[in-house]
Amino acid sequence: MNAAAFFFTCACTFYTSFNRNIHTLPAPEKIAQIPLPEGYERVLQNENSFGFYLRELRLKKDNTVYLYNGQPKSNQTAQYAVLNMSVGNKDLQQCADAVMRLRAEYLKLQNKPICFTDNNRKKYCWDQYKQRGWQGYLETVFGMCGTLSLEKELKQRDWKELTAGDVLIKGGSPGHAVLVIDVARHKRTGELIYLLAQSYMPAQDIHVLKNTSNKSLSPWYSAASSSIILTPEWTFYAPQLRKWP
């Protein structure tokens, strides 16, 4: 075999092996396993924090987003992964509802008070609704609270302090809300990147969003370019970042 043929054979073998390895990488089983871009590392989270809880959320093997009625969502291009969490059988767990659901599940796990407020400032607290059961309580919250009330309840967040559990939200009708579900930092530059999760209308599985405006970074988003945040189904703006009180 001459030198040129040898090089060609080796190159083809390497290319085939390289591509086979890419395609056989196991799918992430939880948020913490979603791959990072080169040079980044996840921001440390206290094990009792909301961010730590979110990072441990399990993902479905089936990457299809289903509606509350069991039908596939018409748009199957927005999601990178789907959370292994029920959507219920009613058209209730939509955008802000999914954010409140995840917050409520975390607070319940931590044995902390759980309260959400409607537009008239009436509070819906788990302690007062236990007789309805957990699902009954959540459905009450979903029915009485939404993007407008949740936006009022949350506080302004500086992008320099971005952390998992923060919310991008536009209150109103129409309105939308997505949850910052994980955050990582570049080891050298300190640049922050983050993952977003949402439900939408009609009620559907909560899913991790792709970054369709920066496919090389997807599913991560860069906090350095946060003046306009283009998600697959909504556009947010920097002042719409919020934190929990």
pLDDT tens per residue, range 171-229: 999 999 999 999 999 999 999 999 999 999 999 999 999 999 999 999 999 999 889 99
pLDDT at 26: 85
pLDDT of 33 over the 60 cut: yes
pLDDT of 109 over the 60 cut: yes
- Is 22 part of any domain? no
Average pLDDT over residues 106-127: 97
- Is 9 part of any domain? no
What is the percent of the chain with per-residue pLDDT over 90, rounded to a whole number? 88
pLDDT of 11 over the 60 cut: no
- Is 60 part of any domain? yes
Long-range contacts of 234-240 (CB under 8 A, 24+ apart): 234/170, 234/176, 234/178, 236/168, 236/170, 236/176, 236/178, 238/159, 239/156, 240/168, 240/169, 240/170
Number of domains in the chain: 1
2-6, 28-32, 84-88, 113-117: range with lowest mean pLDDT: 2-6
Contact, 152 vs 167, CB < 8 A? no
Q: How confident is the model at residue 20 (pLDDT cuts 50, 70, 90)?
A: very low
- Is 102 part of any domain? yes
- Is 10 part of any domain? no
Mean pLDDT of the chain: 92
- Is 161 part of any domain? yes
pLDDT of 2 over the 60 cut: no
pLDDT at 13: 43
Residue tagged 């955050």 (tokens): 183
Q: 95-125 in b/e burial notation, b at 16+ Cβ within 10 A?
A: bbbbbbbbbbbbbeeeeeebebbbeeeeebe
pLDDT of 131 over the 80 cut: yes
Q: What is the pLDDT of residues 142-154, one digit of tens each?
A: 999 999 999 999 9
SS3 (DSSP) at 58: strand
Average pLDDT over residues 69-82: 98
Average pLDDT over residues 153-157: 98
- Is 79 part of any domain? yes
Check the CA dihedral 127-129-132-133 and report its sign.
negative
- Can you give the residue range of the structural domain that contains 48? 29-243
Query: pTM here?
Result: 0.89
Contact, 223 vs 215, CB < 8 A? no
- Is 13 part of any domain? no
How wide is the angle at C-alpha 221 spanned by C-alphas 24 and 107, nearest 5°? Answer: 90
